[in-house]
Structure 1
Amino acid sequence: MSTYATLQPGEHRCPGPSTRDIILADGWDVPAALTAEAYDFLGQADIPFDRYVSPAFFEQEMKQLWPRVWQWACREEHLPAVGDYITYDVGRYSILITRVSPTEIKAYHNSCLHRGTQFKPSDSSGSAQEIRCPFHGWSWQLDGSLKNIPCRWDFPHVQDAETRLPEVKVALWGGFVFINMDPDAPPLAQQLGVLPDHFSGRWDLSKRRVKLHLQKELPTNWKAATEAFLEAYHVYETHSQGLATAGDANAQYDIFDDHVTRFVHTIGFPSPHYTTPQTQQEIFDKMRGGGGVTVPEGKTARSVAAALARADIGATTGVDLAEYSDSEMLDSIEYHLFPNMCLFPGVSLPMIYRFRPIGMDPGRTMFDLMFLELVPDGTPMDYAPDPIPVTVEQSYADAPGMNAGLGAVYDQDTNNLAMQYRGFQAAFKQGETLGNYQEARIRRFHTTLDDYLARP
């Protein structure tokens, strides 16, 4: 009888050392959050493809999800001075976020109360001391109060107190500005779950700054784009060049609550699929491309690579990295905050992802890829760099400032998405079959989505 037959659904794990085993074997005192484990078996039913391609399902999301959920719109670095503004679009919605005072940020629906014209173009930023409609010149103070109506004599029926700009809820965490269009939305803290606890101390993202921001359109549904980054199962085929130096099947998956999940997969330790014997020197050479560095007797490729990263990144950023563990320096540690945000607290892989629908087409997604760099304590806030557009056809590696090798990996990640979306539409079997453990975050993602769609 197969060993697997004696286990309950969700109990199966890849044979060999786990991610937790590898991290603890490094010998570092790691943050407790890094080795915490939380998993729930959530079922085995297929996920219907209709959820990705159906205009009716997409419309339901537009009515029941996006206007009711907290989502990050920008960083505080985008709004360092009073009057600074940025617009955030998701589907049919457009939100104008502005700094009203040194201590307050407000957000409004990006639509004039006169005849509906957008105050500012979608996905734009700038600075202004009033909110003014470009069509007829109606204007509001930054705090949303009515400032001026040209030919006011013709609008005796307009009352100032009733003509304030409708506000959108704003909350701050980790240097991010979140918005929620629901006036009755629960506090952001309720959605953040374990994140404030886990992302404290040296994982505090408010102490980092935007180094690079890419925006690339993906020809797929926003959920499929998100899911491509919620599992390491695809490494076996999509990133097969990395099997000699990266864990995949033995990655750890955590489901902390309805809104927050995580995976951790190691770098510098071969995949369970890679069975060719290797020395630590050979592993290191494949990780770093050689370079003449020798792995001393008794050391691991991970430890040597992490030490070099501490020295290189520490020198570049001016930050003392002596306390950061090998795992924090090397590994892919990714949290997902429902619905569309991924956060990496690591040092060498300091990414933030966001996936949002473009307009009202279920098959178009904007992928925001942002890199947050450690900065020395006391570094003043400065304006974040403008996002760099990357077309559907372009490689991420073409973007100025992007590491070419990492750009090629992102190409591998997203080049499959157009074929997957076409496959959704062409399929005879009308649903995806998920692994119980490696794809558990995807199932939690859909279960939470269903919770929102079921709300009255």
Structure 2
Amino acid sequence: MNVQTGTLQPGEARCPAETTQEIIARDKVAAPVWAASESYEYLGSEDVSKDRYVDPAFASAEMERMWTRTWQMACREDHIPEAGDYYVYDVGPYSFIVTRNENGAIHAYFNACLHRGTKLKPSGTSGYTMNLKCPFHGWTWNLDGSLKEIPERWDFAHAITRRTCLPEARVERLGGFVWINMDPDAPSLAEYLGPEIKAHMAAWRLEDRYIYLHVQKSYPANWKLTMEAFMEAYHVGDTHPQVAPANGDVNSQYDVYGEHVNRFISALGVVSPKLRNRYSEKDIIDNFTLGDSSSLGGTRPELKDGERARQVMADMFRTLFESATNSDLSAVSDTELLDTYSYTFFPNLFLFPGISLPMIYRFRPDARDHRRTIYEVMFMRPKPRDGSQVETAEMQILQDHQSFAEADGMDPGFGIILDQDTDNLHAQQEGLEASAKPGLTLGDYQEIRIRHFERAIDKYIAMPPKLPDWTALQRT
């Protein structure tokens, strides 16, 4: 604030209600350091150009300059637990076979035969294989990427002296995820994310969870528009009115970390500041336990005089989760049990590390249409404490006309929320293309994650193209 005039400087304005950190500070079980912190940075107030969402040339530049340089979550380690297990990860025109060899090492091979380019494994597949064999002419590679066999080898004496190992992307592991990068000169994953985020992930222990539900759906909107629909709580009042009576939406907290990670914290168990004079503490309990927005399956705690609904909900969640997981959660903070923590890992991953609904969102551009997005939702549970094996869920693919609520195992109330989030996308894509205005206007605080995300896009778009160099990606 300008001390002399008393006016707020750009980026200083906040919802006049209590802050997220003030809400969390009153909790009975205190928040950990990674939650009880803020990291906002004002990044300007200029409009964001609409061309990035509608121009196919911009999508091509992203593929040539950004996707080829960034760290992307390809799969979970649980997708490939044993030697020979593989998982195909596609992004735009690029495709990778992520597999584990006999020594336990994980590789991400470019999914193309070095003979005439046929895909070695179909897109969207996973499974087990003893080797990587081309279905066209039978050229075959070992799991370590070395050439195993060329049928009619006598006719390829000239090729044997050339590089014959499968080219591969860089691979790193963190939090139970397998991350890949096509750029051999890119910084390490730790440098890319920054030390603060690596410390956050260490606290979450996501490697101790597994995916029990995995749903994919395609949307008629650019991948960035689709991601940005989930980057702010500003939309809750109009898009999700059924949850506003128990959601601190416009006083949510927004943070940015370095160039590649940002987050918001949205407090639950409190009334939206916009509705504070209309709903009571009892109404908050009813919102959680009654109707389509309920996440508690009919369980309804009693609210005694003087009690805060948020604390009652936290205590009840703790009991429910302890019973479901056969674990002691007495040291887990109330905010981890209740609140929405949403982290964006550039370019296309969202992690929700909370206890109540840990999730993963992943977004990928459709290789055939820059106006379409492939959107995945993955839900996680703690792995059994006794070490017994669990099965990672296979992906369910929904058609355009289907609701998320139709997916087997999906909570109907949450499925409706996902539908509401994405129902706006087609109208937004068409509206941008019809608009006479050349850009989008963003809030300085509530939409800072969008600006931070688009600033990272601009950074990579400004670089020269960097297409994969297959010789540099081959081991000798």
Please indicate the TM-score interval, normalised by the length of the shorter structure: over 0.9
SS of residue paired to 2:413: helix
User: Structure 2 counterpart of 1:446, which letter?
Assistant: E
User: Structure 2 counterpart of 1:347, which letter?
Assistant: I
Change (3 A) 1:166 1:319: same
Give matches, 1:216-231, under 5 Å.
216-231=217-232
User: Which piece of structure 1 moves more, 160-169 or 173-182?
Assistant: 160-169
Give matches, 1:284-323, under 5 Å.
284-289=285-290, 291-323=299-331
Residue 380 of structure 1 and its aligned partner are, at CA, apart by 5.0
Give matches, 1:34-53, under 5 Å.
34-53=35-54
User: Structure 1 counterpart of 2:219, which letter?
Assistant: L
User: Structure 1 counterpart of 2:202, which letter?
Assistant: S
Change (3 A) 1:314 1:291: closer
Give matches, 1:208-287, under 5 Å.
208-287=209-288
Output one character per residue of 1:262-285: Cα deviation in whole Å (capped at 9) or x when no partner: 100111101111033433222211
Aligned match for 2:363, one of 352, 355, 360 = 355
Partner residue in 2 for 1:372:
380
Residue 5 of structure 1 and its aligned partner are, at CA, apart by 7.6
Consecutive unaligned residues of structure 2, counting only runs of 5 or more, are 291-297, 465-476
Change (3 A) 1:292 1:114: closer
2: CA distance between counterparts of 1:270 and 1:44? 29
TM-score, normalisation: structure 2: 0.92
2: CA distance between counterparts of 1:95 and 1:407? 30
Partner residue in 1 for 2:77:
76
Residue 80 of structure 1 and its aligned partner are, at CA, apart by 0.5
C-alpha RMSD of the superposition:
1.6
2: CA distance between counterparts of 1:145 and 1:278? 66
Partner residue in 2 for 1:195:
197
SS of residue paired to 2:341: strand
Give identity over the alignment, percent: 47
Aligned length: 453
2: CA distance between counterparts of 1:355 and 1:5? 43
1: CA distance between counterparts of 2:25 and 2:285? 19
Partner residue in 1 for 2:174:
173
Output one character per residue of 1:335-390: Cα deviation in whole Å (capped at 9) or x when no partner: 11111111111111211111101213111111110011123445355441111111
Partner residue in 1 for 2:338:
330
Partner residue in 2 for 1:423:
431
SS of residue paired to 2:97: strand
CA contact (8 A) 2:176 2:207 kept: yes
Output one character per residue of 1:152-179: Cα deviation in whole Å (capped at 9) or x when no partner: 0011101266111011111100000011
SS of residue paired to 2:119: coil
Residue 200 of structure 1 and its aligned partner are, at CA, apart by 2.0
2: CA distance between counterparts of 1:167 and 1:160? 20
Change (3 A) 1:160 1:379: farther
1: CA distance between counterparts of 2:439 and 2:210? 41
User: Which piece of structure 1 moves more, 400-409 or 102-111?
Assistant: 102-111
Output one character per residue of 1:109-138: Cα deviation in whole Å (capped at 9) or x when no partner: 100000000000101001001000000000
CA contact (8 A) 2:18 2:251 kept: yes
Change (3 A) 1:381 1:172: farther
2: CA distance between counterparts of 1:351 and 1:292? 25
Does 2:446 match 1:452?
A: no
Partner residue in 1 for 2:65:
64
Partner residue in 1 for 2:164:
163
1: CA distance between counterparts of 2:300 and 2:211? 33
Partner residue in 1 for 2:474:
none
Output one character per residue of 1:185-219: Cα deviation in whole Å (capped at 9) or x when no partner: 21111122222201223x11011111111111111
Does 2:183 match 1:182?
A: yes
Change (3 A) 1:28 1:50: same
